[in-house]
Structure 1
Amino acid sequence: MRISFCPKLESFPDSGFPPMLRRLELFSCGGLKSLPHNYNSCPLAVLTIQCSPFLKCFPNGELPTTLKKLHIGDCQSLESLPEGLMHHNSTSSSNTCCLEDLYIQNCSSLNSFPTGELPSTLKNLSISGCTNLESVSEKMSPNSTALEYLRLERYPNLKSRQRCLDSLRELLINDCGGLECFPERGLSIPNLEYLEIKRCENLKSLTHQMRNLKSLRSLIISQCPGLESFPEEGLASNLKSLLIVGCMNLKTPISEWGLDTLTSLSQLTIRNMFPNMVSFPDEECLLPISLTSLTINGMESLASLALGNLISLRSLDISYCPNLRPLGLLPATLAQLDICGCPTIEERYLKEGGEYWSNVAHIPLISKRS
C-alpha cells in the first residue's frame, strides 16, 4: 500500500492495516501524527515514511518481527526510534527483529538510539542529516554483524569509527565535522572495498595501517582542508582507483604517497591540490605503469608533465593548469586527451598546424572543453 501527497491525513482507523500487508509506503503525508497501535501485527517487510513532519514516535515502541527494510526521512519531529529496533543480550528478551536495511534521513529532533545493539542481521545502514543524533557507539555494534554498507552524512556528532566490522564492503563518511581522526590502532575492516571521505573539515589524518586494508580497491578523499598527512606506511596496496580533491593543507608530498608501489592502480585523479608544484611527476615521484586513466585539475603552478613511462595510459584529462606549457612525450597507448583551461597547450597542441600538433595527432579522441 502506497499513500502519497495526502496532506490532511492525520491518522489511521483503530482497526489498523490489512492483516496481510507486506509493504507500506507513506510519502508527503504532511499532517500524519501517528500510526495505528497494532501496525506491528502485520507481516510488514518494508516500511517507508517520508516527509511527515508531525510524526513524533512509533506506537508501543515495537516493530513487526518480519520487517526487513525501514526507511525514515524528513520527519523533523520524530523524537525516538522504536525500542524493538535494537537487540538485547538478555536471554529473557523476546526481540526477534531481523532488519536488514535501516535508512534515517533529516530527522533533526532525533537525538539518541534505543538501548541495546543494532540487529546482527543489518546489512545496510545510512544516517544522513540527523544533526542532533548521538554518535554511533562501539557498544551498539553487534559482535557478529552482516553489515556491508555504512553511510554517515551530515552527522556532526560522529566522533570515530572503532569497532571491527568484518563484513563491511563500503564506507562513506561525508560532511561529518566532528570527525577528527581514526582510531590509533587503525581500522580493522578486512573486506572493505570502497572508502569515501568528503567535506570532513576537521579530519587531520587518515587511518593508520591503511596498508592492512588488503581488499580496498577505491579511495576518495575530497574537500578535507584539515587533512595534513597521509599514513607513513603508505596507502592500501591493492588500490585500483584513487581520487584526492581539494585537500589544500596536505603536507605529505606526492613523492611520499608510495604511488609506485601501487601496482594495481589504474585510475588516478588529483584536483585542486599542491598550488606550488611545478612539474609532475617530479624526480622523486614515480607513477605506477599500471595507470590507464590520469586526471590533473586545478594545479595552477604546474609547468611541465613527464608521462612517457606510463605505457598503459589510455585517457588523460588536464584542466585548469594555466601555466602548463610542454606536455612532454605522451604514451603511444593514449586513446583520449581532454584539455580545458590550459591556454598554451590549447594553442600549441590542439590546433592543426600548431607547433606541436604532430605530437598528439595520432590520438583518436581529442577534446577541448570550454
Structure 2
Amino acid sequence: MNSNMFLEELRLDECDSISSAELVPRACNLYVRSFQNLTRFLIPNGTETLQFWHCWNLEILSVARGTQMTSLSIFDCKKMKRLPEGMQELLPSLKELRLWDCPEIESFPDEGLPFNLQDLWIDNCEKLVNSRKEWRLQRLPSLRELFIYHNDSDEEIVGGANWDLPCSIQRLHIRNLKTLSSQLLKSLTSLEYLGTSMLQIPSLLELGLPSSLSELYLYDHDELHSLQGLQHLNSLQSLYISNCHQLQSLPESALPYSLSELTISNCPNLPSLPLKGMPSSLSKLSIRKWPLLKPLLEFDKGEYWPGIAHYSTIKIDDEYL
C-alpha cells in the first residue's frame, strides 16, 4: 500500500498488519476500524474527517501542523487516554467532536477545545463527564449542540452552577446527570431543543425551562408524576413524552398554546388526554403503547374521536388514522 498517495475517502477495516500511522495512505475522509495493533496515530495533513472504531489498543493521538480537520470521532477505543495536546491551536477548523465509549479519557486538553467547535457529543465516557466542571465550554462561542449520554455513576458537582455553558447552545441532549440546574438552563438564551432522560425533571419544570424552547423531549423519567410548568413556553411546537411510567396527570392547562405536535409513548398510568385543554394550534398527535387510551381514539367510534378528528396527522401505534 502506497503511503504517499492521497485519496478522497479511505476505509480500513481489521488491517492488523498496519501497526504505524505512517503506513496509512493519506485521505481527505479517513475511517479506521478494528486496528488492534495500533497504539499511536499521527493525524496527517489533508485529513478533514477522521473516525476511529473499535481500536482497543489505541492510546495516543497527535496532530501534524497545518491539519484542516473539521470532524473527529472516536468510538469504542478502550485505552485512549487523552485527546491531542495543542488541539486548540493545531485544529482551528474542527467543528465536530464525538467520543463514545472511551472510559480512560479523563479530561480535555489543558488549553481547551478549538474555538470554532460547533457540535460536541459524549457517550459513555465516565471519567470525562465526571470532570465536566473543568471543561470550560463557556469559552466556545460557536458551540451549537451538546450531547451527553452518561451511565449510572455520575458524581454530583458541589456548587453545580460552576458547570458553565455558552449561551450559543441551541440543542442540548442530556442523559443521567445529577447536576443540571434551572439557573444553568435559563442562561441558555438560544436553546431551541432540549432532550432529557433520568434527571430530576420535576424540579426543573417547577422552576421553569428556557422560554426559547421549540422542541422538548422527556423520556425515562420515572420520577415524573404530573406534567406542569410548560404553560409559559410560548415558542414550544413539539412535545415528546416517552417511557414515563409513573406519569399520572396531564392537566388541561399544562400545554402551551403554541404546541403543534404532541407525541406520548409508553406512559401506561396516564389515564386520559386533556381534550378541553388541547391548544387550537395542535395538528399532529401520535400515541404509542398506551392501552388505556387506544379504544377511546378509535376511528369514528372512540369517545375522543370527535375531539381529534380535525388534526391533520393522527398516528396510533405506528398506524395512521
TM-score range, shorter chain: 0.7 to 0.9
Query: Per the alignment, do residues 48 and 306 of structure 1 end up closer, same or farther by CA in structure 2, a change over 3 Å counting?
Result: closer
Distance 1:294 1:156, change over 3 A: same
1:325 aligns with: none
CA contact (8 A) 2:182 2:208 kept: no
Instruction: Give 1:139 deviation, angstroms.
Output: 3.3
Identity of aligned residues (%): 25
Does residue 1:75 correspond to 2:55, yes or no? Answer: yes
Q: Output the amino acid matched with 1:239.
A: L
Higher strand share: 2
Secondary structure of the residue aligned to 1:184 is helix
CA distance in 2, matches of 1:360, 1:178: 43
Q: How far has the Cα of 1:36 moved from its partner?
A: 6.2
Cα–Cα, structure 1 residues 356 and 113, in superposed 2: closer, same or farther, change >3 Å? closer
CA distance in 2: counterparts of 1:227 and 1:280, whole angstroms: 15
- For residue 282 of structure 2, what is the amino acid of its counterpart? L
More helix, by proportion: 2
Name the CA shift for 1:110/1:136 in 2 (closer, same or farther; >3 Å).
Answer: same
Aligned residues: 308
Offset at residue 357 of structure 1 (A): 5.3
Q: Is the 8 A contact 1:156 1:177 kept in 2?
A: no
Which of 239, 255, 264 aligns to 1:268? It is 239
Query: Residue type matched to 1:52 in 2?
Result: F
Max Rg structure: 1
Kindly report which structure 2 residues correspond to 1:1-370, keeping only aligned pairs within 5 A, or say none.
Answer: 12=1, 16-19=2-5, 21-23=6-8, 25-35=10-20, 37=22, 44-58=27-41, 62-82=42-62, 84=63, 95-118=65-88, 119-136=91-108, 139-142=111-114, 145-157=115-127, 158-159=129-130, 160=132, 161-164=135-138, 165-180=140-155, 183-185=160-162, 187-198=164-175, 200=176, 202-206=177-181, 208-222=183-197, 224=198, 229-230=203-204, 233-250=207-224, 254-255=227-228, 257=229, 259-273=230-244, 275=246, 277=248, 279-281=249-251, 285-309=253-277, 310-321=279-290, 341-342=291-292, 345-350=293-298, 352=300, 358-360=306-308, 367-369=315-317
CA distance in 2: counterparts of 1:170 and 1:69, whole angstroms: 18
- Unaligned 5+ residue runs, structure 2? none
Question: Partner letter of residue 286 of structure 2?
Answer: D
Query: Using a 3 Å threshold, how does the CA distance of structure 1 residues 240 and 352 change in structure 2: closer, same or farther?
Result: closer
Q: What SS does the aligned partner of 2:231 have? A: helix
CA contact (8 A) 1:108 1:131 kept: yes
Give secondary structure in 2 for the equivalent of 1:208: helix
Contact 1:203 1:227 in 2 (8 A): no
Structure 2 Cα separation of the partners of residues 354 and 65 of structure 1: 64
Separation in structure 2 between the aligned mates of residue 64 and residue 123 of structure 1, nearest angstrom: 18
Instruction: Please tell me the root mean square deviation across aligned C-alpha atoms, in Å.
Output: 3.2
Q: TM-score, normalised by structure 1?
A: 0.71
Equivalent pair of 1:113/1:134 in contact (CA under 8 Å): no
Query: Which residue pairs with 1:334 in the alignment?
Result: none
SS state at 1:146 partner: coil
The amino acid of 2:98's aligned partner reads S
Any idea what SS the aligned residue of 1:213 has?
Answer: coil
CA separation of 1:121 and 1:366: change in aligned 2, threshold 3 A: closer
Unaligned runs of 5+ in 1: 1-11, 86-94, 322-340
**SS across alignment from 1:71:** strand
